[in-house]
Structure formats: structure tokens, C-alpha cells
Amino acid sequence: MKIITTTKRVKKDNTTIGGKMPKYHSNEFPWYAPSDQTRRDNAIQAAKLMMNAAFTAPTTGGVDHNECELLWGEEEQEELAGKMDELSHTMGNEKTQELYQVEAVMAREADCILLVGDTRSRNTPFDADCGFCGGAEGCAFLYSRRKTSMGQIDSTDQSLSQTPIDGPLCGAHVSNLGFSVGSALWMARNLMVDARPFMTMGVAAKKLGYCKKSALVVGIPIAATSKNPFVDVHFNYPAMNMRSVVDSARKSYIITRQFGLDYRLHSSKNFKKNSDNNKED
């Protein structure tokens, strides 16, 4: 029997194939450097498990109602954050302006963003007279506010959609979405990654075309970093965040460096303080 070791297989030209296991080195900084990417990849694995947890959440009736999408990558996250910044101004709502702006920073700082949407709340209500949406019998509160044909809601009708979210929505399914988001967050907790649910990220992601089948989407940014980027934030966070501070430091450093001496002629050792010079005198 020929024994083949898995550690080293020597080819004719003396190079090894399959000889070395891949090396994983992980680091948080600089952002998006290969070692940071390793860490981000792991966070993405966690997000995928959170996605599954969302599906297994206990829900009323046990009917499938979720769609999940994972948003990751510098360009994609910047696109989402940019949309949030834009919405902060175009919504015309002072109360949500800062929410959108602060949480846009968090979208940039996240390793990835899990989007959890509910596919049923707009078009296929639970039909159980639960009363959550308005209390009227026959789910009339919801049906009477939609364009219907033969009792079925017209999913193409956008005439009522004047607000960030196209309501009214079926409350039973909304509550179910809450359970799904809860299970995703619980999984994050178990996997020791930081995560937090946001309305703003969900609205912006929906506008960018994520979770197309859902009327209501919650965005959950995920991070596996030393400091949870979704809590303990400065006032005026859009201006005063890690990226702006680091960028400002780089700028100041580069400007300040221009006043350096020629290192070949002036050794650091001989670069003395004023007081030292006075002593010599």
C-alpha cells in the first residue's frame, strides 16, 4: 500500500503541492488590508449563521415569511452609507436626520450588514383577525387601505407609497419579523460578534434594491472588532468618528512632516533640545 502524507507531496521540480495549510493572520487595521480581510471573512461566516437563525425563529403559524441578504464589501457598504446620508436630507424629517447620519457611519464601520426582510406583510396578510394592524374584523383595516381585486392585494400598486415604508402592513408578520431579527441577534450574541438592528439601514438598502420582495427590512450591521462600533459614539458622530479622526491625523502628519531636516546630515541623536544646547554653552 502506498502511503501518501498530506503534509508534503514533492513534485519533480521539487516544489511542494498541498504541503502547507493556508495561513490565517488576522488584524483590525489598516482597514481592508489582507489581515483585516481575514477577520471580516470570519464575520461574514457569522452573518451567514445569523441568516439561518432568522429563518428558524419561532413565528406565529410557522409560515415562511423571510428573505435575507448579506451586504458586504467596501464599495457596497459605502453605497449604502451614501444612500443613508442622502436620505437624511431628502426625508425632510428633523427627527430622523441624525439617525440616518449617525447610522451611516456605523454602516461604514461594520464588517458586513445583514438585511432581514418580511415578504408577506404587504401583500399576503396573515388573515387571522389578530387585530394588530387596526383591530377591524376581516383584517379590514389593511385591506380597505389597499387596491384589491377579488380580495387579493394588488402588489404592483404604488399609489399609496408616499412614505419611506409602504404601509399599512400586516402586524402578525411584522411581529414575526421581530422574532426573526431577534433570533439573528441572539446568534450574533452566541458567536460573540457585535450586532444591532436599525430601521435606517433597512430603508436605505430597500431603496438600493436589496430584499426586493420585502416591504419592511431591518438592517443589522455586524462587527468583530475590539470595540463595538455600534455603541458609545461621540456627539456629532458624522463629523467626529474613527475614520474622520484617523484621516485628519494622516493629513496633519503629512503637512507637519514637511518641516523635517535632512536625515543624512542631521542625526536624531544630535537633535537636541534648546535647554540642552544652553547647558553646553
In terms of DSSP bridges, do strands 216-223 and 112-118 run parallel, antiparallel, or are they unpaired? antiparallel
Q: Which stretch binds another protein (CB under 8 A): 9-17, 20-28, 79-87, 155-163?
A: 155-163
Residue 135 engages another protein in binding (rule: CB under 8 A): yes
Cβ burial of 118 (10 Å; 0-12, 13-18, 19+) is: buried
Name the residue with cell 422574532.
179
Residue 51 engages another protein in binding (rule: CB under 8 A): no
Can you tell me which of 198, 211, 221, 224 binds another protein, judged by CB under 8 A?
A: 198
- Cβ-proximal residues to 58 (8 Å cutoff; 6+ apart), any chain: 179
Residue 46 engages another protein in binding (rule: CB under 8 A): no
Question: How near is the Cβ of 195 to another protein at its closest, in Å?
Answer: 8
Cα 146 to chain center, whole Å?
A: 32
- Cβ-proximal residues to 181 (8 Å cutoff; 6+ apart), any chain: 54, 116, 197, 218, 220
* Binding-residue total with another protein (CB under 8 A): 52
DSSP-assigned letter for residue 234: P
Residue 165 engages another protein in binding (rule: CB under 8 A): yes
Q: Which stretch binds another protein (CB under 8 A): 9-17, 106-114, 169-177, 272-280?
A: 169-177
Dist CA 42 CA 33 (whole Å): 14
One character per residue 81-120, x = contact with another protein (rule: CB under 8 A):
------------x-xx--x---------------------
Residues lying near another protein in the complex (CB under 8 A) = 57-58, 60, 93, 95-96, 99, 128-137, 141-142, 145, 161-169, 171-172, 174-183, 185-186, 195-199, 203, 215-216, 218
